[in-house]
Amino acid sequence: MKILVTGATGKLGSKVIETLLKTVPMSQLAVSVRNPEKAERLQARGVEVRHGDFDQPETLDSAFSGIDRLLIISTVGDDETIIRQHTNAVAAAQRAQVKFIVYTSVTNASESNLFLAPAHRAREEAILKTGIPYSFLRNNWYLENEIGSIQGVMAGAPWVTSAGTGKVGWALQQDYAEAAATVLTGNGHENTVYELSGKLMTQEELASALGTVIGKEVPVQQVDDATYTDIMKGAGVPESYLSMLVNIQKGIRNGELEIECNALEKLLGRPTTTINEALSQIVSQIPQTGN
Q: Are residues 155 and 286 in the same domain?
A: yes
133: nearest Cα among 184, 195, 81, 65: 184
- DSSP labels, 250-270: HHHHTTTT-----HHHHHHTS
Q: Are residues 135 and 252 in the same domain?
A: no
Q: Are residues 145 and 231 in the same domain?
A: yes
* Whether the predicted pLDDT of 150 surpasses 90: yes
What CATH code is carried by the domain that includes residue 17? Answer: 3.40.50.720
CA atoms within 13 A on the CB side of 210: 26
DSSP state of 168: B
Query: Which is higher by pLDDT, 287 or 280?
Result: 280
Contact indicator for 200, 258 with CB cutoff of 8 Å: yes
pLDDT in tens, 66-95: 999 999 999 988 889 999 999 999 999 999
Grade residue 291 by pLDDT with cuts at 50, 70 and 90.
very low
Q: What is the pLDDT of residue 89?
A: 97
What is the Cα–Cα distance from 45 to 287, expressed in whole angstroms? Answer: 29
pLDDT in tens, 22-74: 999 999 999 999 999 999 999 999 999 999 999 999 999 999 999 999 999 99
What is the Cα–Cα distance from 160 to 85, expressed in whole angstroms? Answer: 35
Grade residue 5 by pLDDT with cuts at 50, 70 and 90.
very high
**What sign does the dihedral 76-82-85-90 (CA atoms) show?**
positive
Q: Are residues 135 and 145 in the same domain?
A: no
What is the Cα–Cα distance from 263 to 252, expressed in whole angstroms? Answer: 20
* Whether the predicted pLDDT of 149 surpasses 80: yes
Averaged confidence pLDDT in the chain:
95
β-bridge pairing 220-222 and 170-171: unpaired
Q: What is the pLDDT of residue 289?
A: 57
* Whether the predicted pLDDT of 4 surpasses 90: yes
Tell me the residue ranges of DSSP E strands in the chain: 3-6, 29-33, 48-51, 69-72, 100-106, 134-139, 141-142, 159-161, 170-171, 192-196, 220-222
Q: Is 179 part of any domain?
A: no
pLDDT in tens, 245-267: 999 999 999 999 999 899 999 99
What CATH code is carried by the domain that includes residue 225? Answer: 3.90.25.10
Q: Are residues 234 and 287 in the same domain?
A: yes
Contact indicator for 152, 142 with CB cutoff of 8 Å: no
Number of domains in the chain: 2
Q: What is the pLDDT of residue 145?
A: 96
Longest CA pairwise span in the chain (Å): 57
Q: Is 187 part of any domain?
A: no
Position 187, amino acid: N
What is the Cα–Cα distance from 149 to 168, expressed in whole angstroms? Answer: 15
Q: Is 63 part of any domain?
A: yes
124: nearest Cα among 72, 176, 175, 184: 72
Buried b / exposed e over 59-91, threshold 16 CB at 10 Å, is bbeebbbebebbbbbbbeeeeeebbbbbebbbe
Whole domain around residue 59: which residue ranges? 3-139
Q: Are residues 25 and 101 in the same domain?
A: yes
Buried b / exposed e over 182-203, threshold 16 CB at 10 Å, is bbbbeeebeeeebbbbbbbbbb
Q: What is the mean pLDDT of residues 263-284?
A: 98
Position 96, amino acid: A
